[in-house]
Amino acid sequence: MNYKKLINFTLFVAGWWTALLYGNALALIALFLVLMVHFILWRDVRDMFLILGFIFCGFGVEWAFMASGVQDYHSNLPPAWSICIWAMLATTMRYSLSWLVNKPQWAALTGLLAAPVFYFNTVQFGLSSWGRPMWECLVVIALVWCALAALISAVLVPAIEQMETTESNLS
């Protein structure tokens, strides 16, 4: 792993903790800083499409979790800090987590095991609560992320990578 990938993953983890511990305002500031450093390190316009895709997908998944009672964020919409985490996660997909691209089985396993831990932490820190029995929520989260991670790995990121960059069009 080169230093840029290490910086990429470190920024995601630091941004995730900032969002989790300090809420909406600092999550937005952390997202700005993560994106600023990301686009200084990698000047690839395709990442904007991936980040926007994650923001919309994240909003939909979080809203579905709220509507089905898996997560209760004590609001009518998914909180900004949660969507910021989705955007920060997108910055890792083509870089520090690139080892999962085109490997949907590994991505599915990673989603199956990692996502419930992240959502469990949001409840432990008091940012959300379970709307159903905890085991049901964790199973739903694991299954959704298993499928979602496989789809991201096999379809979304490869499609983004096949797009031509602006720089190659200008040459």
pLDDT, tens digit, for every residue of 115-168? 999 999 999 999 999 999 999 999 999 999 999 999 999 998 888 888 875 444
Res. 171: pLDDT tops 50: no
Full 3-state SS string of the chain: CCHHHHHHHHHHHHHHHHHHHHCHHHHHHHHHHHHHHHHHHCCCCHHHHHHHHHHHHHHHHHHHHHHCCCEECCCCCCCHHHHHHHHHHHCCCCCCCHHHCCCHHHHHHHHHHHHHHHHHHHHHCCCCEECCCHHHHHHHHHHHHHHHHHHHHHHHHHHHHHCCCHHHHHC
- Work out the average pLDDT over 50-58: 96
Checking phi first, is residue 102 left (phi over 0); if not, alpha (psi -120 to 50) or beta? Answer: left
Distance CA 121, CA 58 (A): 17
pLDDT tens figures, 78-122:
999 999 999 999 999 999 999 999 999 999 999 999 999 999 999
